Amino acid sequence: MGHGNPSEDLYTFGSIFGFSDPKNGQTVAKKHLDPGTGGGFVWFNFPLYYVNEDSAKKAFRQAFADLGVPENFPKADLNRDGVRTVADVVLQINYVFAGEQFPIFDADEVDLNCDGGASPADIVLYLLNIYSGTPLPC
């Protein structure tokens, strides 16, 4: 890192989809330093759905919520196209009934009634939400 560039890429995203994913190879963490003070910060640029569900992810979500920063995608937008549609319900049905794992979302993304697990009740709630606008409880 030269004196003229106080920032440095730390990590790039390696997608499981390879080059077919437009985010593959993009910077997801960058270090910024202030040469005058020696201070700095690390900037992260990745949607939370790329992070494994664990206590760190829950801490990220809480920190973002406390700062008023929304996630890039609404909960249960399982195909990450920005809206909840029947296509997302199909992914959820395959997850709940067939055990099919979808590589983008975490289990909490399909727990729409906040009871701690994915079930047919979540699918019903999802269908009500898509067609009637009923808000998701969590």
pLDDT digits (tens, 9 = 90+) for 30-51: 777 887 887 777 777 666 655 6
The share of the chain scoring above pLDDT 70, in percent, equals 76
pLDDT of residue 126 exceeding 80, the answer is yes
What is the predicted pLDDT for the residue at 121?
Answer: 93
Q: Where are the domains of the chain?
A: 7-53+59-67, 71-132
The share of the chain scoring above pLDDT 90, in percent, equals 4
Confidence of residue 120 (pLDDT cuts 50, 70, 90): very high
Number of neighbouring beta carbons within 10 Å of residue 55:
7
Query: Among 118, 121, 112, 123, which residue's Cα sits nearest to residue 86?
Result: 123
pTM above 0.75, yes or no: no
pLDDT of residue 67 exceeding 70, the answer is yes
Query: Among 40, 49, 62, which residue's Cα sits nearest to residue 16?
Result: 49
What is the predicted pLDDT for the residue at 103?
Answer: 57
Q: Which CATH architecture has domain 71-132?
A: Orthogonal Bundle (1.10)
Mind giving me the DSSP string for 44-111? E---GGGS-SSHHHHHHHHHHHHHT---SS-TT-TT-SSS--HHHHHHHHHHHHH----SS--GGGG-
